[in-house]
Structure 1
Amino acid sequence: MKPEHPILIFECANAHGGDAQVLKQTITRFAEIDYPEKHIKFQPLHPDRIALPDFSAYGIYQELFFEEGEWADIIDLADSRFDGVWLDIFDSYGVDILSRNIGRIAGIKLQSSVLENYEVITRLKDLSLSDTRLMINISGHELPSIERFAVFFAALEPAEIVLQLGFQDYPTRIEDTGLNKIAPLRAAFPGLTLCLADHAPAEDDLATIVPLLGVAAGCAMVEKHICLDRTGAKYDFHSALHPDEMRIVADRLAQLPAMSGVPFISDPEKNYLATTVQVPVAAHDLPEGSTLAFSDLIYRRTAQAGEPLSELMRAQGRPSVLGQPIGEGQTINASQFRPAKVGVIVACRMKSSRLKNKAVAPIAGRPSVERCLENCLMIDGADLVVLATSTLEDDAGLEDYTLDGRTRFWQGDPDDVIQRYLGACEAFGIDVVIRVTADCPVVSPEIAAALLERHFTSGADYTVAAQCAVGSGTEIINREALQRVIDLKGGAQHSEYMTWYFQNNTHIFKVETVDLPGDLVRDYRLTLDYPEDLELFSQLYERLARDGRDASLKNVFAVLDGDEQLANVNRHLSLSYRTDHDLISRLNKETKIDIG
């Protein structure tokens, strides 16, 4: 596009006041203007999808609402008179209008206040935008954020990414036209098209000059508000030009200094974003002690104080959990998070039918459970390690294996492992559990740390590796989610298989499955349940000690990769919850939670 012939977008906005006939008259009248690359833009929105009823403009949004059939007629008329039709997408209703008319839509625009609305983004991902331009308004955002948005929205594969500068105040000051941003944006994004949304006061002569200055500075597109009559328009008339004014180009370069020399983001612009941004709102009740995922949130304009998603994710990543319950429809603030106490809870019992007293079976001269606890103490991000056993007398002696007090000791329910875990959480103030079973002498601190990091970034209730060597992995579980199993199920009959309660109820729990890097994944059996397992571990540790290496997963794999005979010592053994079809069928049925 040559600078002397920019695309000129006639922004109808809401000067029509909710009257479809007025909007159609506007289309017809402005279509008479002779201009190459003449486009027109509309703002379809739904009051309940853009805001909550407590927002000051909610009543106005109700007044401006058009049904889908009305929008079809409006778009059809515009498409016959203009070179391109654009839509401002504020909410999921705008996506509905886009999807039903996409063959006639040249481009869509996302206001700066919508760029983190994942309701809208998720819907747009379902559409093919290969023939549709995507314009991102970047008002209120610094260059690093703009770069992040440009890369993010490029993944939607639109026909073109356009960066738009300029925001509307009522009225907008000359100093806030945004001409000062054009040079930095061109330098930072040389491959992207720039569009100037000019909202200079309509009564000022500069309203017809600023677009020319924007083009001269490097913008290939210009957006201007229009209306039939400013005196009769109820909304969006401050910068709207009459048909005759849209034909005028005047030379007022003498006033250029008034348009430059201001900060990249002015105070009114900051206020604009702060007062119009769609902030995360709880999509449902969020209990104390839980973590936030995208699925927990909707995005609305509201009178409540709220913070952007990026701030909430930064707070949660410290790591933290919600320090108080959040009700449905309430905003969330970083101050409502509290530091999460992360505890490794190692379940251990002395009873074992296939390998007697396996918890204290010696592996190269050291009890199996102590090998496991040593690895657990090396997990980055864990605040403490708890050896959790039952209240039965046979298990009391396990307190002697807590590595001279470096790990805590807890006795709880003999049969209900979830209740035992909850008891340990209550006793030691644990919010997030790294679940380990004591029959895993070489449990991997590297895998546990990777899962823990993903747990907080994803906001999951339960996080697990997609694949890893049996006995090397862990599971990350929110204490709140464990309690929810008990509250919803009334108990956990098969709690030793607690994994099933989460993976079989993804309609209730947020489950995150992590693909680990290849160097942490093998198909070896590294759990202690049979004499053959003990034989493998004994030889493995003797080999590591002889070579002066520790029992890191890297070193364990190096030994087994190089000794097929050793790796095959226990390869023929299987896990009942993977091969016993009767057990699997029973677990699938009895761990399901029906919430009605």
Structure 2
Amino acid sequence: MKVVAIIQARMGSSRLPGKVLRLLDGITVLELIVERLSECRTLHEIVVATSVSEKDDAVAKEMERLNIAVFRGDEKDVLDRYYRAATLTKADAVLRITGDCPLIDPEVVDAVVESFVKRYPSLQYSSNIHPPTFPDGLDVEVFSYEALEQAWKEATSPFEREHVTPYIHSKPHMFAKANVGSSEDYSRLRWTLDEEEDYLFLSALIDKAREWGINPRLATLEHWIHILEQYPQLTELNSGIVRNAGSAITK
């Protein structure tokens, strides 16, 4: 089974424009995501899906520099972007990652992918967000190409087209699904990048990792948790932002 990671990313975020090309640990957010996903055992290919908008030329240029394939499509119809990228790469299963998750964890990704592969084809969708028990920013969704194609053909609402998977996970009678949970509930933690406060938090957390001799590009969930246990004040930098507050806005 060919599993393709598709990262949706664009420059036009309403809350934090250009966030995917901001620097963390001296590299862009997108490069950090790619580096961390490259550590996964279960992925066969990584693709970035961005829009045809002129402002996203910068995203395409960055991926060209990194030798990562890019698919460019409709700015609002992200579901169409995913379907066409998955079709071009001949994916059997798709890992959905958003461009605001610079600390995406390879071990978590592998756990969700493995939960899917082991039960496919009886299982069509697996995630770690229904319900969430991992920090916001470690969100993982895996689904079959067949489920993606059916959603692409049948989803009609703007919300379903913008957010790719609502059509799939809202229909358990059509698409059997599973959820991978953490041994401890960390869902209160916010490691995503949607606001300026998030950028300040992530920068400070990564700086602490470097001070401790931990490579942020390889750091695990356990590494980050250990740092935050020693420096709990870091979480105050972006506390108070509601999880998924921007869910009605395309990444």
Normalised-by-shorter TM-score class: 0.7 to 0.9
* Distance apart, 1:405 and its partner CA: 3.6
Alignment of 1:410-429 (within 5 A): 410-429=71-90
- TM-score of the two chains, using structure 2 as the length reference: 0.88
Offset, 1:403 = 7.4
CA distance in 2, matches of 1:576, 1:557: 21
TM alignment of 1:545-564, pairs within 5 A = 545-551=210-216, 552=219, 553-564=221-232
Counterpart check, 1:373 vs 2:34: yes
Q: 1:448 aligns with which of 92, 104, 109?
A: 109
Q: Is 2:186 aligned against 1:525? A: no
Q: Report the counterpart of residue 501 of structure 1 in structure 2.
A: 167
Code of the aligned partner of 1:549: I
Any idea what the Cα deviations from partners look like across 1:214-247, whole Å, max 9, x if unmatched? xxxxxxxxxxxxxxxxxxxxxxxxxxxxxxxxxx
- TM-score, L = length of structure 1: 0.38
Offset at residue 577 of structure 1 (A)? 5.2
Structure with higher RCO (Cα < 8 A, 6+ apart): 2
| Alignment match, 1:570 | 238
* Secondary structure, counterpart of 1:568 in structure 2: helix
Q: Map of 1:423-438 to 2, 5 A cutoff? A: 423-438=84-99
| Structure 1 letter corresponding to 2:243 | L
Deviation at 1:377, TM superposition (A): 1.2
Any conservation in 1 of the 2:7–2:96 contact (CA below 8 Å)? yes
- Structure 2 residue matching 1:402: 3-state secondary structure: helix
Counterpart CA distance in 2 for 1:436 and 1:542 is: 24
2:134 to 444, 468, 485: 468
Q: Contact between 1:376 and 1:445, CA under 8 Å: does it hold in 2?
A: yes
Matched, 1:515 2:175: no
SS state at 2:126 partner: strand
Q: Deviations over 1:415-452 (max 9, x none)?
A: 11111011111221111111100111001111110011
Paired residues of 1:486 and 1:492 also in contact (CA < 8 A): no
User: Aligned ranges for residues 185-264 of structure 1 at < 5 Å?
Assistant: none
If you compute each CA radius of gyration, which structure gives the higher value, 1 or 2? 1
How far apart are residue 402 of structure 1 and its match?
A: 2.4
Provide the rounded CA distance (Å) in 2 between the counterparts of 1:517 and 1:497. Answer: 28
- Match in the other structure for 1:390: 51
Contact conserved, 2:134 with 2:181, CA < 8 A, in 1? no
Cα pair 1:349 1:390 within 8 Å, conserved = yes
User: Which stretches of structure 1, 4 residues or longer, exceed 6 Å deviation after superposition?
Assistant: none
CA contact (8 A) 1:455 1:462 kept: yes
Q: Distance in 2 between matches of 1:545 and 1:403?
A: 28
Q: Where does 1:67-466 land on structure 2 (aligned, <5 Å)?
A: 340-402=1-63, 404-459=65-120, 460-465=123-128, 466=131
Structure 1 runs not aligned, ≥5 long: 1-339, 584-596
Q: Distance in 2 between matches of 1:567 and 1:426?
A: 40
| CA-atom RMSD in angstroms | 2.0
Name the count of aligned residue pairs.
Answer: 239
- Gapped regions of structure 2 (runs ≥ 5): none
CA contact (8 A) 1:359 1:368 kept: yes
Give me the identity figure in percent.
Answer: 26
**Aligned CA distance change for structure 1 residues 403 and 523 (closer, same or farther; 3 Å):** farther
Paired residue secondary structure (2:208): helix
1:411 is paired with a residue of what secondary structure?
A: strand
Distance in 2 between residues matched to 1:529 and 1:572, nearest whole Å = 13
The alpha-carbon deviation at position 516 of structure 1 amounts to: 2.9
